[in-house]
Amino acid sequence: GNCYMSVANGERSANRGSCAQNCRLPYNLIDGNGDTLIRNSHLLSIKDLDVSDQIPNLIEAGIVSFKIEGRLKDVAYVKNNVSYLRQKLDSYLEGSDKYIKASSGKCTYTFDSTLSRTFNRGYTDYFVNERHSSIGSWESPKSKGQYIGKLIRTIGDAYEIENGELLNNGDGLCFINENNEADGIYVNKAENGKVYPNVLKEIKDGTFIYRNNDAAFIKIVEREDSAIRKIGTTLLLTENENGFELIATDEDGNVSTVKLEHPKEQTKTGESIEENIKVQLAKTGFTPYNADEINIMFSQNWFLPISKINEMRRNVFEQLSEIRLANYVREEHQLVKTSHPYPETKLDFMYNVSNKTARKFYERHGVTEIEKAFELQWDPGKSRVMTTKYCIKYELKKCPIHQKDIVGVKVKEPLVLKQGELEYKLKFNCKPCEMEIWEKDAEFEIEEDHFH
């Protein structure tokens, strides 16, 4: 919520769901002398967030719900990412005697989910484990994909690539060309360790090759049955005075019973058909249920037509859904207004106070000075439009705190980002370890790099 570049540039507010993605544009980086240090690079584009290895710690910290970004992403991305994180979460919960799922059901998959096999710009934990590596994705805001290997050499109209046996017809490959730009090709044919592209481009030996369109993987993932979540049930088929009854008990203890009036006749051969009955009862199809256990309790080897078995199965699951819905309890909590003191008494525009209700809330909690939201008081050309822990100085290895042993020649400030008519000044607040982005007409003092 601390980015206002979009609204300042074109009045599309990111806080209101209309971000114009200014951070994904290419910029020139210009120093205080007016010299261009970097040209046409995506200097504000950072890698995608991945803190999946922190799920146990996040749960222990009290997090009870996780959000997965999926806006404007395709089916393969959503299925792959949700499945990957669901398995990470389940793996932790299965080994815990302290936490359980809030939901019902178990997921099964026909593919091995791997984050890098669908859209990604590379991954970062964004300082969850301290600031220790570059998090920028400067070459391109597009998907780099899964690293395959280095280009060994070009042979005729084909490439020889490390681990090339992993590639398939229809794959999309990505690489960084000699102009430091993301480039790509499609694989028309992959055979005998060679890759035949749709267009043979000049690629330097040793170039890292990534796959950003995994054709075979996507084909599997996009199948309707590739990721299924079902509620576990136990089925019991038994007899009564007038025929038979089927009892379904789900994993949450809900019970459904259906009865079938039907003559009790022995099988013609006198042999049990229990296995055939179990096969029919196990066909839960497109219902949200799975028959984990099926028991049959007959006093004799009774015969039942397949049509009747299927009818009982359908009815018992339909009824079970109705029972589950009737038994579902939604916990509701009455919110009681309090007047506990807010940690701050002065709020700037980053608190996004844009209506009377929000203002009254903060006033009730002791806040005395409240700035209007950015959108209500924006000063064109002079505003601070982003505050971030991401730091271009650090990415350039010019950080006077974390990289003081390798910083070398200092850059002349203020550094300026320029993209067409867009121009921004960068301010570095080293004590709190933050970077601010200001519009071109803004004025501010530049800190000296004299930290101990």
Give the residue extent of every domain in the chain: 45-225, 232-327
pLDDT for residue 173: 96
Which residue type, as a one-letter code, is found at position 272?
Answer: S
Per-residue confidence (pLDDT) for residue 1, from 0 to 100: 57
Q: How far is residue 82's CA from residue 78's CA, in Å, rounded to a whole number?
A: 6
pLDDT at 70: 75
pLDDT along the chain (452 residues), means of 10: 84 85 94 95 94 93 86 90 94 91 93 94 90 89 93 96 95 92 94 92 96 95 95 97 97 97 92 95 95 96 96 98 95 90 94 94 97 89 92 94 87 94 93 93 76 41
Q: For 281, phi and psi rounded to 5 degrees?
A: -65, -25
Residue owning tokens 């990505």: 174
Q: Model-level pTM? A: 0.84
User: What is the predicted pLDDT for the residue at 193?
Assistant: 82
Query: How many angstroms separate the CA atoms of 394 and 157, rounded?
Result: 42
Give the position of tokens 């994705």: 137
Buried b (16+ CB within 10 A) or exposed e, 282-313: eebeebbbbbeebebebeeebbbeeeebeebb
Nearest to 148 by CA among 181, 184, 179, 112: 184
How far apart, in whole angstroms, are the C-alpha atoms of residue 374 and residue 8?
Answer: 9
Q: What is the C-alpha to C-alpha distance for residues 370 and 366, in angstroms, rounded to an integer?
A: 11
Q: Which residues contact 228 (CB under 8 A, 6 or more apart)?
A: 107, 108, 109
Separation between Cα atoms, residue 79 and residue 109, nearest integer Å: 10
Q: Report helix, strand and coil shares of the chain as percent, to nearest 5.
A: 25, 30, 50
Instruction: Give residue 108's pLDDT.
Output: 94
> How much is the pLDDT for 192?
87
